[in-house]
Amino acid sequence: MNHRQNRRIHAAVVVSDLHIGLPFFSRGAFIQFVESLARGTALILNGDIVDNPYQRLESKDEAVLDFLIEQSYQRQVIWIYGNHDADFRMPEPGQILFRRSLALDKRLMIVHGDDFDTIMPNNRWFLRLFKFCHRVRLRLGANPVHVAELAKRWTPLLYRVLTEQVRKNAVDCALQDGFEAITCGHTHFAEDSVYKGVRYINTGSWTEEPRYYVSVCPDEIRLLVYHREATAKPRTANSGVTHMIDSGSNYTATTSYRNYYTQESKQ
């Protein structure tokens, strides 16, 4: 796998699976999280940032994309494509860089993880059936949650097979290319483990709590948790809460994204 190198990044955060456009996306928390970052900290968006590239977004979701464009003039913003947003394009993306993967020297390989998954592509009939049941459940008035959260509850064995496969294939790829660590998203299952001597970090998603991110500093790489609370000191994900926040964001959209979607959205 060919990875873009970026040696200018000394401090960064990595998040994945925002799924902008879904009602489960933690919109206000995400904006406040980014606003809390120190000057010079790069923002790496590791795939499935937009849920559906052919769906017209509501103004509150357009505002998030405007916010990311604005941030790209203040810090490095790198958008790594996932399976959901692979076809998403911005005609005026500001300074946002779009990649399939990213390498921070040999310290960390960053890739969404869908390339390491053969479970879902080979079982699309099951996915369609599962999503149909989910839609019926919502119409009957059930509590709205992301379909991945339900999969963890309803099909735990299959979900475990998926997460183990992505972990194994990701680590094999990192080993082949000589990386010390690799971070992915895709599975919506946050973890920080060592397999075959390579550190594997998954950032979960921002469609359910807790909300995870990877912090990359010159001397360490940590998986951390971000909660909407008023005060707390940063701690590792294993020991609790980090980077607390207090109130919702009032950021509003200034740009219409009606022309930001491919021609397929008009068909």
Distance CA 10, CA 197 (A): 24
CA distances from 134 to 8, 137, 140 (A): 44, 5, 10
Distance CA 266, CA 261 (A): 9
Distance CA 162, CA 7 (A): 32
Rg (CA), the chain: 18
pLDDT over 80 (residue 253): no
- Average confidence (pLDDT) over 198-206: 98
Q: State percent of the chain over pLDDT 70.
A: 72
- Average confidence (pLDDT) over 73-95: 95
pLDDT over 50 (residue 252): no
pLDDT over 70 (residue 191): yes
Banded pLDDT at 2 (limits 50, 70, 90): low
- Average confidence (pLDDT) over 113-120: 89
Closest by CA position to 213, among listed 7, 6, 34: 34
Phi and psi of 209, rounded to 5°? -100, 150
Closest by CA position to 120, among listed 181, 165, 56: 165
- Average confidence (pLDDT) over 119-135: 66
Banded pLDDT at 140 (limits 50, 70, 90): confident
Q: Which helix (H) or strand (E) segment is 67 a member of?
A: helix 59-72
pLDDT over 80 (residue 152): no
Distance CA 161, CA 148 (A): 14
Higher per-residue pLDDT: 237 or 175: 175
* Domains contained in the chain, CATH given: 7-248 (3.60.21.10)
pLDDT digits (tens, 9 = 90+) for 39-55: 999 999 999 999 999 99
* Average per-residue pLDDT for the chain: 82
pLDDT value of residue 248? 39
Cis before 210? omega within 30? yes
Q: Within the chain, how many helices (H) and strands (E) appear?
A: 5, 12
The answer to whether the beta carbons of residues 212 and 203 sit under 8 Å apart is: yes
Closest by CA position to 251, among listed 64, 68, 24, 15: 64
Q: What is the largest CA-CA distance in the chain?
A: 51
Banded pLDDT at 241 (limits 50, 70, 90): very low
Distance CA 201, CA 27 (A): 23
- Average confidence (pLDDT) over 133-146: 70
- Average confidence (pLDDT) over 157-186: 94
Banded pLDDT at 28 (limits 50, 70, 90): very high
The answer to whether the beta carbons of residues 3 and 103 sit under 8 Å apart is: yes
